[in-house]
Amino acid sequence: MNREDYLKSHDDFIATSLTMSKSMIVSSFTILIYYCVTHLDDEVEYIWSRKWTKGKAIYLITRYFWTVYFTYLIINNINYGWNEFTLYDSHLIATQADVIYTTFYIYSSPIFDGIAIILAEIILQMRVYAVYGRNKRVLAALVCMTLSSVVVCALQPTKKVYIHSKLECKDGVAACLASFGLGREKGHFSDVTAYYWSYLTYPIAAVSWLVVSTVERAEPTLDGRNPDVMATIARDSITYFAVIFTLGLIATILSFITEINLPETSNAFHFIAHLLNTYRIVVITTMSILAPRMLISIRLEVYRLDAPIEMLTWEAA
């Protein structure tokens, strides 16, 4: 099927998938704002009213970096006319303003998304560093992990691992969608797989190591440290891992399925492939909620005690 025939048969599909993407973004933003508002009292009591520490700084950066960027993203999505395309000879043509916004989003989103993921990872790394008694070897391993994450983040806007860097995407959303099925051969994986597998599998691997390290350290003898705090650290880490691993696994499986079936040009598989571009926002929003919450949980446990304890995540984070 040539490009023109493809676009003619997928006008409705494009409009539907774009509307669904917008719905996913708005829903994720609503959940994020709802969580921030309903937990504002805990944040004021256990974060804002306490002295400045490294934990407080990383909490505020993680919480509000993604919130501010997501607010900007949602404002642009509301103003961005998903269905305001001009139809010329069955080709969907975006306005100049839409093209400018799309181009900016193409190259900025992987950078900001990557920063949000790295910030969430740093919170987990702080917990590992604390429960291992600020061991220098553990610190060196965590620094290497952070640098690796930065490298992965820096590579996202390049043509090597990021699908949106396709030149076709500069011509508008329709051309970008069309490139899914027209730029590959049957039996070969394209940039779609490289993007999702590198973007979601690596954080899962990093989180796996951090969670295992935390749980192993929290299990047996607690060496005089308060068991409630250690149990809180282990419980929150396991919950975080279970949620993020499940979300990442779903995306990886769907990416694999769509890559296998895209040559058949089925609307269903193209629809899933397109929505996976938006799905990462759901994952990052979840990380931005759960990671700072782990710091709040520690402080809830610490400050309810009658006497201060020694084992705090960077002074109770």
Amino acid in the structure at residue 2: N
How does residue 3 score in pLDDT terms, banded at 50, 70 and 90? low
- Residue 87 in any domain: the answer is no
**What three-state secondary structure class fits 51?**
coil
pLDDT confidence of residue 33: 93
pLDDT confidence of residue 91: 46
Q: How many domains does the chain have?
A: 1
- Of 97-106, 154-163, 164-173, give the lowest mean pLDDT range: 164-173
| Beta carbons of 172 and 102 less than 8 angstroms apart | yes
pLDDT confidence of residue 192: 46
- Residue 315 in any domain: the answer is no
d(CA 230, CA 301): 10
- Residue 309 in any domain: the answer is no
- Residue 313 in any domain: the answer is no
DSSP state of 314: T
137 by Cβ neighbours in 10 Å (0-12 / 13-18 / 19+) ranks as exposed
- Residue 308 in any domain: the answer is no
- pTM for this model (two decimals): 0.71
Tens-digit pLDDT profile for residues 11-33: 666 666 677 777 888 889 999 99
**Residue 203's domain spans which residues?**
3-82+92-303
CATH number at residue 49: 1.20.1070
d(CA 269, CA 96): 29
pLDDT confidence of residue 96: 53
Amino acid in the structure at residue 308: P
Amino acid in the structure at residue 142: L
Tens-digit pLDDT profile for residues 184-218: 333 444 444 444 454 455 556 666 666 666 666 65
- Residue 150 in any domain: the answer is yes
Residues 6+ apart with CB under 8 A from 195: 156, 161, 162, 163
DSSP state of 88: E
Strand spans (E) along 213-298: none
Instruction: Give the CA angle between residues 75, 77, 81 to the nearest 5°.
Output: 125
| Beta carbons of 80 and 67 less than 8 angstroms apart | no
Tens-digit pLDDT profile for residues 33-76: 999 999 898 888 888 888 888 888 889 999 999 999 998 888 77
pLDDT confidence of residue 291: 87
- Residue 311 in any domain: the answer is no
Is the predicted pLDDT of residue 296 greater than 80, yes or no?
yes
Tens-digit pLDDT profile for residues 166-182: 444 444 444 444 444 33
| Beta carbons of 44 and 31 less than 8 angstroms apart | no
d(CA 138, CA 125): 9
Is the predicted pLDDT of residue 161 greater than 50, yes or no?
no
**What three-state secondary structure class fits 87?**
strand
Tens-digit pLDDT profile for residues 108-136: 777 888 888 888 888 888 877 877 777 88
pLDDT confidence of residue 227: 53
Average predicted confidence (pLDDT) for the chain:
69
- Residue 127 in any domain: the answer is yes
| Beta carbons of 124 and 313 less than 8 angstroms apart | no
